[in-house]
């Protein structure tokens, strides 16, 4: 198990090599810092077995879905989540365990994978938009196993670190009903750049506070506490949001890599799954993790939390 985690973190770090610029002084050790596996809460899978396959007709996308689809849409809904990888890496398979736990609760997840023979590149917001487009097309394609089964009115965008930058950008897409911004947050424009104007290095591709008014659905912000170098950006983003519901959770000693590479994605997979169950499926039991002063995370001594606009 330790070897598996090391391999996963190594793949994550490989994606950060060409990542959108991180704050000065950030080291690989800071990026790879994670919650120790021993004694950590375990991932809690849902009722569905999970499968993964290349996206039909879109070789740059990978699909994670329930293996059996007979429950959808008559007994359960199948919302969509598009995922932004850490480091804006192109290979979502690094996060397969984390994504699998979410899928097991009855969700369709679409993210990116490298294309054979293609030049190495990073995941972009356009890739995530294309993932939503793919789901919409597959929902009406004759012969698709997903035909008529996808709840296209229930779409989420989530991502970690650089992928969190992408989810913030996707918050402006009218199809996206909620976003998850993990170990990430809006950035201060580089010197010489303001109001969208480029400085000497050109326009920043990292979202600034200007992105926030464009978000139109609930926002989940998670970070790994004081040992996560983007905790400050996560907290600042929460404070700047003033027009949509938002929940902020800081996991003590979580680190920047948190629990993504624990079996099944560990604790962060549980929190992300409950958020999606609540916001996209109306699951009141899952919502208890976030609602009210006695919410599940509110009373968990391992977490520091804040919320606004979340009271029922």
Res. 311: pLDDT tops 80: no
* CATH architecture, domain defined by 2-12+26-188+205-308: 3-Layer(aba) Sandwich (3.40)
Report which of residues 230 and 311 the model is more confident about. 230
Is residue 137 classed exposed, middle or buried when 0-12, 13-18 and 19+ CB atoms within 10 A define those classes?
middle
Mean pLDDT rounded to a whole number for the chain: 90
Full-model pTM: 0.91
DSSP string, 116-148: TTPPP----HHHHHHHHHHHHHHTT-TT-TTTT
Q: How confident is the model at residue 20 (pLDDT cuts 50, 70, 90)?
A: very low
The string of pLDDT tens digits covering residues 43-57 is 999 999 999 999 999
Would you say residue 7 has pLDDT above 50?
A: no
292-309 tens-digit pLDDT:
999 999 999 999 999 999
Percent of the chain predicted with pLDDT > 90: 84
- The Cα-based distances of 173 to 155, 177, 232, 253, 276 in angstroms read 10, 9, 26, 33, 17
Task: Concatenate the DSSP letters of all residues of the chain into one string.
Answer: -HHHHHHHHHHHHHHHTTPSPPPTT--HHHHH-B--STTPPPP---SS-EEEEEETTEEEEEEEEES--TTTTTTS---EEEEE-GGG-S-GGGGHHHHHHHHTTT-EEEEE-PPTTPPP----HHHHHHHHHHHHHHTT-TT-TTTTT--TT-EEEEEETHHHHHHHHHTTSTTEEEEEEES----PPPTT--TT--BTTB---S--GGGGGG--S-EEEEE-GGGSTTHHHHHHHHHH--SS-EEEEEETT--SSBTTTSGGGHHHHHHHHHHHHHHHH--HHHHTTTSSTT-TTTT-TTEEEEEES---
pLDDT in tens, 151-205: 999 999 999 999 999 999 999 999 999 999 999 999 987 655 444 443 333 345 6
- Would you state the pLDDT for residue 190? 63
Going by C-beta distance under 8 Å and a sequence separation of 6 or more, which residues neighbour residue 158?
81, 82, 83, 84, 167, 179, 180, 181, 182, 220, 272
Write down the pLDDT at residue 21: 44
Tens of pLDDT, residue by residue over 212-227, are 999 999 999 999 999 9
pLDDT of the residue at 206? 86
pLDDT of residue 205: 64
Planar angle of CA 48, 54, 55, nearest 5 degrees: 90
Summarize pLDDT for 84-95 with one digit per residue, the tens: 999 999 999 999
Name residues whose C-beta falls within 8 Å of residue 201's C-beta, 6 or more positions apart in sequence: 190
């Amino acid at each position: 198990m330790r070897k598996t985690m090391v391999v996963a973190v190594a793949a994550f770090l490989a994606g950060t090599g060409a990542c959108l610029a991180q704050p000065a002084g950030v080291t690989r050790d800071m990026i790879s810092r994670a919650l120790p596996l021993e004694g950590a809460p375990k991932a809690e899978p849902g009722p569905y077995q999970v499968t993964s396959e290349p996206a039909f007709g879109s070789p740059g996308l990978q699909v994670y879905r329930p293996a059996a689809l007979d429950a959808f849409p008559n007994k359960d809904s199948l919302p969509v989540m598009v995922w932004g990888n850490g480091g804006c890496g192109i290979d979502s398979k690094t996060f397969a365990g984390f994504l699998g736990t979410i899928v097991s609760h009855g969700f369709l997840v679409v993210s990116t994978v490298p294309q054979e023979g293609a030049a190495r590149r990073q995941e972009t917001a356009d890739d995530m938009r294309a993932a939503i487009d793919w789901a919409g097309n597959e929902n009406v394609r004759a012969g698709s196993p997903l035909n008529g089964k996808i709840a296209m009115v229930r779409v989420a965008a989530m991502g970690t670190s650089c992928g969190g930058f992408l989810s913030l950008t996707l918050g402006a897409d009218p199809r996206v009903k909620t976003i998850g911004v993990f170990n990430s947050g809006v950035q201060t424009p580089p010197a010489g750049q303001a109001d969208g104007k480029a400085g000497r290095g050109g326009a920043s591709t990292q979202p600034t506070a200007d992105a926030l008014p464009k978000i139109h659905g609930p926002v989940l912000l998670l970070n790994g506490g004081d040992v996560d170098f983007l905790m400050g950006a996560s907290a600042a983003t929460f404070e700047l949001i003033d027009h949509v519901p938002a929940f902020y959770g800081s996991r003590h000693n979580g680190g920047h890599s948190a629990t993504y590479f624990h079996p099944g994605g560990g604790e962060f997979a549980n929190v992300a799954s409950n958020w999606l169950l609540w916001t996209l499926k109306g699951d009141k039991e899952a919502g208890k993790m976030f609602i009210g002063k006695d919410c599940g995370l509110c009373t968990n001594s391992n977490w520091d939390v804040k919320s606004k606009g979340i009271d029922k």
